[in-house]
Structure 1
Amino acid sequence: MPPLAGFIVSRAVGNAVVRNVVRRRLRHLVRGHLDRIPEGSLLVVRANPAAGSAGHDELAADLESALGRLLRPASKGRK
């Protein structure tokens, strides 16, 4: 089963037009990363209020950072 992605874009992000633009941008960006996510995974992307005024490049960088942290191998404890 391929990984699935869902998006949460609340009213705090902006009006309906802004929320839909953010959702479309995030959907486009996540589509390019689905091959990195393990089979059968469920990914939920929540847009914070700053996403409404963020540019495409800023959203892409934030998503890349979040996925990098998510997919990084777990450490075995602090040293």
Structure 2
Amino acid sequence: MLPARHRLRASADFASAVRGPGGRCGGPLVVVHATRADSREQQPARVGFVVSKAVGGAVVRNRTKRRLRHLVADRLTLVPDGTDLVVRALPATAAATGAELGAELDRLLPVAVRRAAARSRA
């Protein structure tokens, strides 16, 4: 479970992470959006999840969110302070194993964070 201080909650925060000047990296299972704000540099990284109805019914969507939350919580040390992440699940996520999701996150998180850091310096 993600601690409360590491959760994105407001829709404006989700919108700024997804549409703002940051990094985005996608694969067949998930898309990771990252943005860094200099004003939030001393605050912990925050993560939000988007799982649409295309993934499945309510039970499948909630199970997918729980799996993603668990996997991202284990990888939170890879995300620098002041970074907002949004992990968007694609329909194939529902059928993926935990190992596949973990490998996908291991591959995508560093790339999205690096792109967000480069765009915040520019």
* TM-score greater than 0.5 by the shorter chain: yes
SS of the counterpart of 2:99? helix
Q: Judge conservation of contact 2:78–2:110 (CA < 8 Å) in 1.
A: no
Q: Judge conservation of contact 2:56–2:91 (CA < 8 Å) in 1.
A: yes
Q: Larger strand proportion, structure 1 or 2?
A: 2
Runs of 4+ in 1 over 4 A off after TM superposition: none
Per-residue CA deviation, residues 20-63 of structure 1 (Å, 9 max, x unaligned), is 11100100010011111111110000000000111111111111
Selected match of 1:2 from 29, 44, 48:
44
Q: Report the Cα distance in structure 1 between the residues aligned to 2:96 and 2:106, rounded to whole angstroms.
A: 15
SS of the counterpart of 1:11? coil
Q: Report the Cα distance in structure 2 between the residues aligned to 1:47 and 1:4, rounded to whole angstroms.
A: 17
Q: Does 1:59 align with 2:98?
A: no
Matches within 5 A, 1:1-79: 1-72=43-114
Q: Report the Cα distance in structure 1 between the residues aligned to 2:65 and 2:83, rounded to whole angstroms.
A: 20
Q: Judge conservation of contact 2:51–2:90 (CA < 8 Å) in 1.
A: yes
Q: Report the Cα distance in structure 2 between the residues aligned to 1:4 and 1:72, rounded to whole angstroms.
A: 16
Identical columns (%): 51
Gaps of 5+ in 2: 1-42
Q: Report the Cα distance in structure 1 between the residues aligned to 2:71 and 2:106, rounded to whole angstroms.
A: 9
